[in-house]
Structure 1
Amino acid sequence: MTLHEASAESIRVRESIRVRLDLAYDGGGFSGWAAQPGLRTVEGVLSEALATVLRVPVRLTVAGRTDAGVHAAAQVAHLDVPEAAWSALPGRSDRPAQEALAARLAGVLGRQAGPGCPRGSSDLVVLRVSRVSADFDARFSALERRYTYRIADARSPRDPRRRGHVLWLPDALDVEAMAASASPLLGEHDFLSFCKPRQGATTIRTLTALHWQRVAQGPAADAGLVTLTVRADAFCHSMVRSLVGAGLAVGQGRRPVAWPGELLAARTRQGAAPVAPAHGLSLEGVDYPADEELAAQARRARVTRCLGC
């Protein structure tokens, strides 16, 4: 970014309201997050809905770009809204602008719902609209992202209503072996063997949790399923699905327990970890620091993860 561009961006932000959007979506009807010509994407549908309501073009920044078919229970994005457009949102009502925006988006997104959505529903929902400080950056201010991958193996109940969110496998998984194989992956490492690199971005990440388990039987929705819960400061392209793929290779007896750790140490795209199907994966949460730490966290993240951003 040139000095002139940086100055123009600073002026634009000062004359705008920064807005945080908390989202949920069923990824089955989307070709991923990022807008792509001719494809239905989360960013594309949401940007179009926002432009319809606000009557101005918008630019979204998201916490994590999910792949095609990946779901989100708690995605986060932000945008800058011109003050005039923000002030006009309530119209003649006395509702706060954020409530007016949420209500209008619900209507527009309902009309833009994907094929198969029952009347009155949508596969993309804005859970909450919040006005935030200009220091908030949905991507770089985030401390941690949390994902869950869900699997029904031969020992799991199979609910056809959740088939688009759970990977079904015909064999029984060795969950203890999968859990043991995860230990060497925790901490800060170069995850090149588990990532599809992007130009100008590092593949070094800090994995704070990688937990395979069979959920105890009971009333919970995931009861009996094999799940992977994974947390990190950030994830590179296809990293979570590659972690799942490596775990499945161990759990199905195709690879020894030590293999994921050996693959990590190799740091190579030759013989890289297999990528698990997308539909079993869901973004479950994004954590941010206190307001006074947002700008500092964003600066640290840019230096650590993004070359040339």
Structure 2
Amino acid sequence: MRPPPTRPRPTSPKRPLRISGDVRLRLDIAYDGTDFAGWAVQAGQRTVAGVLDEALTTIFRTPVRLRAAGRTDAGVHATAQVAHADVPSDALPRAYSRSPRPGDAEFVPLIRRLARFLPEDVRVINIVRAPKDFDARFSALRRHYRYRLSTAPYGVEPQLARYVTPWSRDLDVAAMTAASRELLGLRDFAAFCRHREGATTIRELQRLDWSQDGHLISAHVTADAFCWSMVRSLVGALLAVGEHRRPPEWCAELLTATSRSSDFAAAPARGLTLIGVDYPADDQLAARVLITRDLRTPG
């Protein structure tokens, strides 16, 4: 006898695949750069991004990588660095407290946890959900830096010693101010930038001025973006003017150079701090990214 025909087993309907999208977070960060080898992750080096990435990866239990508005050099500080990170939505609940405090903003518990995970020389000041087109680097309109020096005969007061450069020679602030005015505008700052393959040296320098309060001298520098070592190089050249080793017009003459000038040294890193980053309104973020990504050429 033939065996009875087998009936196909009923199949259950396929479950839709679970898709976990990413949530983009904006982080506002402060750090003392003295003991860091800069912002960017480097193998075998202690860096700001490396420390933060490790802490966030531990908390979210998934790899997290930050992208910053400006990759500060070794020894440079920040009071208002901005970075973004994309976190899988199914990992996001790990940012929340099991016992939320009334009135806390969404990511205050995460900020508190990071304060326990991070070393004392880096702090995450604030975290919010970022608009979908936000990019910490490419959405930025401009960055603001401050460089501080002390010409006091004793150097720098201990409380400021990590953030102010001692300068033993007198400086002519009026001469430095005059030279600074000639550098403003959209220009090729090749003479003031260390070479980076594929990077442009054309920048719009929007502010470069000086103030003095007793022995404390400060430079205020703003541009749409900065190339590698640009702020410290600008300050270094202007210090040569301030010491009367070069005339004020010399700095403007450097703008004709096509590569980093060897006629001056960059100012020491310790006096430099990133103090602000400006962004457009949310509905203008995508357009700003397109403008920023468009590589400039001499026109």
Provide the rounded CA distance (Å) in 2 between the counterparts of 1:295 and 1:173: 44
> In the alignment, what sits opposite 2:107?
98
- Indicate if the aligned counterparts of 1:151 and 1:225 stay in contact, CA closer than 8 A: yes
Provide the rounded CA distance (Å) in 2 between the counterparts of 1:283 and 1:44: 19
- Indicate if the aligned counterparts of 1:154 and 1:171 stay in contact, CA closer than 8 A: no
Point out the more displaced range, 148-157 or 183-192: 148-157
Provide the rounded CA distance (Å) in 1 between the counterparts of 2:149 and 2:255: 23
Question: Following TM superposition, by how much is the alpha carbon of 1:271 offset from its aligned partner in structure 2, in angstroms?
Answer: 2.8
Q: Are 1:166 and 2:147 an aligned pair?
A: no
Q: Are 1:26 and 2:32 an aligned pair?
A: yes
Question: Following TM superposition, by how much is the alpha carbon of 1:162 offset from its aligned partner in structure 2, in angstroms?
Answer: 0.7
Instruction: Return 5+ residue gaps in structure 1 as ranges.
Output: 1-12, 114-121, 218-223
What per-residue deviation string (whole Å, max 9, x for no partner) do you get for residues 246-289 of structure 1?
A: 01001111111111111112333343542110000000000000
Provide the rounded CA distance (Å) in 2 between the counterparts of 1:100 and 1:198: 39
> In the alignment, what sits opposite 1:206?
204
Q: Are 1:62 and 2:65 an aligned pair?
A: no
Instruction: Indicate which of 63, 66, 82 corresponds to 2:88.
Output: 82
Instruction: Indicate which of 234, 249, 258 corresponds to 2:249.
Output: 258
> In the alignment, what sits opposite 1:244?
235
Letter in 2 for 1:99: V
* RMSD of aligned residue pairs (Cα, Å): 1.9
> In the alignment, what sits opposite 1:9?
none
Question: Following TM superposition, by how much is the alpha carbon of 1:142 offset from its aligned partner in structure 2, in angstroms?
Answer: 0.3
> In the alignment, what sits opposite 1:281?
272
Letter in 2 for 1:101: L
> In the alignment, what sits opposite 2:127?
129
Question: Following TM superposition, by how much is the alpha carbon of 1:156 offset from its aligned partner in structure 2, in angstroms?
Answer: 9.0
Provide the rounded CA distance (Å) in 2 between the counterparts of 1:76 and 1:144: 12
- Equivalenced residues, count: 276
Instruction: Indicate which of 150, 153, 173 corresponds to 2:151.
Output: 153
> In the alignment, what sits opposite 1:141?
139
Letter in 1 for 2:81: Q
> In the alignment, what sits opposite 1:299?
290
Letter in 1 for 2:251: P
In the superposition, the TM-score normalised over structure 2's length comes to 0.88
Letter in 1 for 2:56: L
Question: Following TM superposition, by how much is the alpha carbon of 1:99 offset from its aligned partner in structure 2, in angstroms?
Answer: 1.7
- Indicate if the aligned counterparts of 2:254 and 2:261 stay in contact, CA closer than 8 A: no
- Indicate if the aligned counterparts of 1:43 and 1:60 stay in contact, CA closer than 8 A: yes
> In the alignment, what sits opposite 2:9?
none
Provide the rounded CA distance (Å) in 2 between the counterparts of 1:68 and 1:81: 28
What per-residue deviation string (whole Å, max 9, x for no partner) do you get for residues 115-164 of structure 1?
A: xxxxxxx1000000111122000000000000000000147983121111
> In the alignment, what sits opposite 1:8?
none
- CA change 1:160–1:91 in 2 (3 A) is closer
Provide the rounded CA distance (Å) in 2 between the counterparts of 1:272 and 1:56: 48
Question: Following TM superposition, by how much is the alpha carbon of 1:97 offset from its aligned partner in structure 2, in angstroms?
Answer: 4.3
Instruction: Indicate which of 266, 269, 275 corresponds to 2:260.
Output: 269
Residue 90 of structure 2 aligns to a residue whose secondary structure is helix
Letter in 2 for 1:90: Y
Question: Following TM superposition, by how much is the alpha carbon of 1:90 offset from its aligned partner in structure 2, in angstroms?
Answer: 1.6
What per-residue deviation string (whole Å, max 9, x for no partner) do you get for residues 151-209 of structure 1?
A: 00147983121111111111211000000111111000000000012111110000000
> In the alignment, what sits opposite 2:173?
175
Letter in 2 for 1:45: V
Which structure's CA Rg is the greater one? 2
> In the alignment, what sits opposite 2:15?
none
Residue 236 of structure 2 aligns to a residue whose secondary structure is helix
- Indicate if the aligned counterparts of 1:28 and 1:69 stay in contact, CA closer than 8 A: yes
- Indicate if the aligned counterparts of 2:155 and 2:168 stay in contact, CA closer than 8 A: no
> In the alignment, what sits opposite 2:4?
none
* Bigger share in helix: 1
- Indicate if the aligned counterparts of 2:208 and 2:221 stay in contact, CA closer than 8 A: yes
